[in-house]
Chain A
Amino acid sequence: MTNMPKVRLKPDTTLFADWRRRFTERAEWRLTEHFFRAMFDFGFLNDLAADSFKRVLIGSIGGFVAFGFLLTRAYMIKYALLWSSGNSEMYRRALLGDDMTIIGLPMLLVAFVTLIVSQSLFPDERDFRILGPMPVRRIVVFRAKLTALLMFTGLFTAAAHASLVPLMILTSMNPWGDTNVILRLASWAIASVTASAFAILTITAVVGVLVLALSRSRLQALSTVMRSAVLGSLVVCLPLVSHLPTLGGPLSRGERWMALVPPAWFLGFQRLMQGSTDRALSHLAIVGMAVFLVVAAVVTATYVILFKHFERLMLRPAPMSPPWWRINRAPLLSRVAPQFRGVSGFTMATLTRSDLHQGVLVGLSACGIGLATIFLTSSIRLSITASIVPFLLMFACGVAVRAALALPIEHRANWIFQVTEDHATRRDQMRAVDRVVLMYVIGVPVVASVPVLWMAIGEDALLAGVVVASIGLVFAHAVLLDWRRIPFTCSYLPGKRFIGHSAIMGFAACLLFTVISSGLVRIALVSVNQGLVITAALLIIGYWLRERRLVAWKRTPLMFEDEFPDQLLQLQL
C-alpha cells in the first residue's frame, strides 16, 4: 500500500515536468518572460541601483500592506458605531460610499501602474528591429506583449484586491442580515476587477492613440506632455478618492451627476449582480458597461492597426522641417555665458521630451495640488487654507524638481560633461540649475495660489504673493542643499535611506515648512510696513544663501556617481 502512491505519482510528475519544459521552451513564453521582466526595468538604473530599487519596491509593498491594515482598523471603529446606532438606513448609505471607495482604490492603483509602464504597452521600434529578423511570427510578438501586460497588471490587480478582502468582509457584517457575504464578495470581486480592467484599458487606449497618431520624433514632446497630464490628473484624483465614502448620500438619492464618477458605474454593476432593482444603480451599471466596451474597442482597434501596419508605423521617415514652435524663434542674448546656456538648454530639452523626468516632475508636483485640494475642500476657513496652499505646492514642487533633475537620462553619455568640466565655468553651469529650480519652486506656487489668495483675502493677495515668492527664494536653498550635479548626468541609487525614515522626515519637513511659512504670511499681512520688512529680510537671506551656494559650487567638483551615505543610519531629528 505504501508503495502505491509513489508508483502513481512518478509518471504524473514526469508528465507535468515534461509539459512544463515544453511550455517554457516555446518562443512565445520566452518572449512573454522577457517583456514581463522589461516592465520592471526603467532603463536608467545600473546594477547597484537596480538592487537598491528592489529594496525600495519591497519597502513599498510593506507600506501598502500596512495601509490595508490601517484602513481596516479605521473602518472597524466606523462600523462598530454604525452597528450600535441601530439605524439600518445609515449603514446602507455608508456601505454605498465605502463600496465605491473599495472599487475606486484598486482602479487608481492599477491606472498608475499601467501609466508607469506605458512605454511597454505596445510593441515598439526596438521590438521591430530586434525581433523582425528572428524566426518569430509577428502575431507571436503581439500575443507575448499582451500576455506580459496581462500578467503585470494582473499581479497588481490581484495584490490590491487581496489586501482589501478583510475590509470587504468587515463591511459585509451587520446586525440586520442585509447581505449574503459570499454573494457580496463574489459580486465585488467581479465588479472591481472589471473596474480595474477599465482603468487599464483607458490608459492603454490613450497611449495607443498617441502611438498611432504621433510620429517618432516630431511630436515626441507633445506625447510626453500628454502622458504627464494623465499622470498629474491621476495624482489629483487621490483626494477625490478620499471623498468617495461621503458620496453614499447622493448615490442613494440617485443624483444624476454620479454618472460622472467612474467607480459609481461599477458599484451599480456590483449591486445589479447582488440582485438590486434600484433604477439609478442600474443606469450607472449600463453607463459603465457602455464606456467599458467603447474603451475596449479603441484598444482592440489600436492593436489591430499597429499589427497590420507595424513596419509603416515604426519606420516613419525623419521629419524634414522644424516643429512649428521652433520656427522663427528669436536667437538668444549673447551676453549669457555659453556654459549656462548649454546646461539650461539641455535641462529644458530633457524635461520636455523625457517621459520619465517629466512624469516625476508633474506627478510629484500634482501631489501638492492633491494636498491643496484636500485642504480647500475641507471645512477649514478659506482664509486659513489659502495661506497654507502655496507652501504645500512649493514643498511638492521642490521635491519634484530635485527628484526629476537627479534621475539620469543616459548615464554613459555623461562623459561629455566630464571631459569638459572646468572650475572656471562650473558656476555658470550650476547657475542654470539654480535658475530652473528658482523658476519652478517660486513660479508654479505663486501663479497657482494668488487666485486662491485673492478669493480669500482680496487685494492683500498681492502682498501675500510677494511674501510667498520671497519664501520660495529661501526654500530653493533647501532644495539645492548638497547639490553638485549637472541635471540628469549622475547615476542614481534609489532607497538610500529606509523608506519609513524618508517618509517621516518628509512629512515632518513639510509640516514645519508649511506652518512657519503660513505664519510668516499672516504676520506680513497685519500691515504693509510689516509685510515689506519681512519681504526685505527674506530677500536678503535668499540672496546671501544663493551667493554662498554659487561660491561653493565653484570650489566643489561635479558629482557623476551617486553614493550611499557612508555613515550608519541616524535619525538626525
Chain B
Amino acid sequence: MLEARGLTKRYGGFLALDRVDFHVRRGEILGYLGPNGSGKSTTVNTVVGLIDPSAGSLWLDGAPIADDPVAYKRRIGYVPEEPHLYTHLTAIEYLTLVGRLRGQTEQTLATKIPAMLQLLLLWESRYATMAAYSKGMRQRVLFAAALMHNPDLLVLDEPFSGLDVTASLLFRTLLRLFAAGDRMVLFSTHRFDMVEKLCSRVVILSKGRIAAERDMAAFREGRAESLEDVFVHTTGQDDFTPVARQILDLMQP
C-alpha cells in the first residue's frame, strides 16, 4: 500500500499542498481529482520523487520511502501530463534508453520493445524520430516506457490527453488488469468520466487540501449524488452560466 501522511509543499510563500493524507491499496485504482491549480501535479511530482515535500512523508508497504528512495523509484512507473520526451530519438531508441537506465538487459529489451511497439501500434513508425509523432503517439511511447520494467505502482498524470478512442479503450482495460494483478494505480485527472469508469475510490483535492474522499461503488450503485455534484460542492465551484453568457456576449461583433 502507498500512503501519503501529512504531505505538504510550499513554494516560497505559496502553499501548494497542505497536510494531504491518502492511500492507495493493492489492487486499487485511486482517482485523484481536482480543478486546475488544486495541487494534483505537485502531489504526483512528489510521489514520483521529482520534488521533495516540505513536510510529511510517503510510505510504501509500511516503510517510509525516504529510507530507500532508489528502491522505491525502481518500483514505480510514471506517465507525465505532457509528453515530454527526447524527440530527436526514435521510439525504439527512447525505450532502449529508459530500459537501460532501469538496468534491464539487452536480451530483455530486444524482446520487449518490438512486442510493445507492435501492440501499441507504433511499429510502422519505428524508424522515425519522435519529432514526427503526434501527441497521442508520444503518449503511447510514455505508457510503454512506464510499463516495461513491470512496476508495482503506476502513477498517471492526465494520461489520456491526446489519445484516440481506440488507445483510450485499450489503456482503460490495461489499467484495470494491471491493478487486478495486486498492483496500485494513482490516477490524477480532471475528467469525471474516466474516474467513474476506472477507479475504485476517488480523492478530491481543492486548494491544496483534501476536500472529499469517496468510494466509487456508491456512485455506480446510485446510492450517492453524482461525482460531478460532489466535486462542485466540495471544491466550491460556482454556477458557470453567467460566465458562459459573458463569453457569448464577447463573441458578438
Interface residues of A (CB under 8 A from B): 216-218, 220, 318-323, 331-332, 334, 338-339, 341-343, 345-346, 349-350, 353-354, 409-410, 412-413, 415-425, 429
Contacts and interface: CB of A to CB of B under 8 A. Distances in A.
Contacts of A319: 127-128
Interface residues of B, number: 38
A151 B131 CA distance: 29
A342 B101 contact: yes
B73 A422 contact: yes
6 A-B pairs with the lowest CB-CB distances in the bound complex, closest first: A342-B100, A318-B128, A338-B100, A420-B101, A412-B84, A413-B84
Given A346-B89, A349-B88, A416-B97, 6 more contacts: A318-B125, A318-B127, A341-B106, A413-B84, A419-B49, A421-B73
A332 B106 contact: yes
B103 interface: yes
A321 B124 CA distance: 9
A336 B104 CA distance: 12
Contacts of A413: 84-87
A415 to B, nearest CB: 6
Contacts of A322: 127
18 contacts: A216-B132, A318-B124, A318-B132, A323-B127, A331-B106, A338-B103, A339-B101, A342-B100, A409-B86, A409-B88, A410-B84, A410-B85, A410-B86, A410-B87, A413-B85, A416-B145, A419-B50, A422-B70
Q: Report which residue of A334, A350, A422 has the largest number of chain B beta carbons within 10 angstroms of its beta carbon.
A: A422
B76 interface: yes
B6 to A, nearest CB: 23
B126 to A, nearest CB: 9
Contact of A349 (B82, B89, B98): B89
A415 B96 contact: no
Contacts of B96: 342, 345
A342 B124 CA distance: 24
A321 B127 contact: yes
B128 A416 contact: no
Contacts of B105: 334, 338
Contacts of B78: 415, 419
A217 B48 contact: no
A571 B110 CA distance: 53
Contacts of A342: 96-97, 99-101
B101 A416 contact: yes
B80 interface: yes
A353 B50 contact: no
Contacts of A318: 124-125, 127-128, 132
A217 B88 CA distance: 9
Given A320-B127, A322-B127, A338-B104, A412 B82 contact: yes
B86 A341 contact: no
A410 B100 CA distance: 19
Most buried by A among B48, B96, B104, B128: B128
- A217, A332, A354 — most chain B CB neighbours (10 Å): A217
A419 B76 contact: yes
Contact of B84 (A217, A345, A415): A415
A339 B100 contact: yes
B87 A419 contact: no
B253 to A, nearest CB: 16
B49 A418 contact: yes
B196 interface: no
A518 B165 CA distance: 67
Contact of A338 (B99, B125, B131, B145): B99
A125 B52 CA distance: 39
Nearest to A338: B100
A413 B87 CA distance: 9
Given A338-B103, A345-B100, A415-B84, A217 B128 contact: yes
B103 A339 contact: yes
A217 B127 contact: yes
A217 B129 contact: yes
A490 to B, nearest CB: 14
Interface string B193-214: 0000000000000000000000
Contacts of B107: 334
Nearest to B87: A410
A345 B49 contact: no
Contact of B131 (A217, A350, A417, A423): A217
